[in-house]
Amino acid sequence: MLFLRAPMNKAIFLDKDGTLIENIPYNVNCNAIKLVPGVVSGLRKLQSHGYRFIIITNQSGLAKGYFTVQELEKVRQHLEGLFNKQDIKLDGFYYCPHYSKGIIEEYSVECNCRKPKPGLLLKAAIDLSIDVSRSWFIGDSFSDVEAGNACGCKTILLRNKRSQQNSSKPYSIAVDFPQATQHILNSDQA
Ligand SMILES: [Mg+2]
Ligand SMILES: [Zn+2]
């Protein structure tokens, strides 16, 4: 029997808060969600170069009882709508609901998906046939870098004041999303 191998996709894994949208801790009010300037043009360029987009986000507010899965689902739909309006397709939205010291029992556990652990990335890669060696993680925190490195993709740290240094080394550092985009396209051409 002839067995056709599924084509492997390349993807940009994207942190949500402080990367795609302005960071408002635990916000699920869609009216307050604002895309960071430069994100749309960057995503468009990357999409035209064949990248899929997958959001990878820690949502400990679920374990802490700050909001519900239904409210987070509204945020996902809102974001997808914002991107669709710009002809940008969002292929996945993966979140970690856990926090070991939370109050909602089912989510108050140690898990393998809360960044810096790579569980969400690995699950997304399997679900969506992603070739991680051709993929990238863009995030504004060292836990994004650590998760991306652990799953075998290249990482870009968006430098901001909140970035708490650890021993993880990003593939490159960018001042903003357009610069991160440029680093990826330059690396592809090299
Ligand atoms: Mg962030
Ligand atoms: Zn988790």
**Residue 131 is among the residues annotated as catalytic for this protein:** no
Confidence (pLDDT) at 160: 73
**Domains of the chain as residue ranges with CATH:** 16-114 (3.40.50.1000)
pLDDT, tens only, 89-107 = 999 999 999 999 999 999 9
CA of 77 to the centre of ligand 2 (A): 21
Spatial contact of 184 and 178, defined as CB atoms under 8 Å apart: no
CA of 15 to the centre of ligand 1 (A): 6
CA of 92 to the centre of ligand 1 (A): 17
Ligand closest to 18 (CA) is 1
Q: Please state the pTM of the whole predicted model.
A: 0.94
pLDDT, tens only, 34-43 = 999 999 999 9
CA of 108 to the centre of ligand 2 (A): 9
> H/E element holding 136?
strand 136-139
CA of 88 to the centre of ligand 2 (A): 27
Ligand closest to 163 (CA) is 1
- Average pLDDT (108-112) is 97
Distance CA 190, CA 186 (A): 6
Ligand closest to 59 (CA) is 2
- From the list 82, 104, 102, the residue with the least C-alpha distance to 93 is 82
**Residue 87 is among the residues annotated as catalytic for this protein:** no
Spatial contact of 77 and 35, defined as CB atoms under 8 Å apart: no
Question: Between residues 160 and 57, which one has the greater pLDDT?
Answer: 57
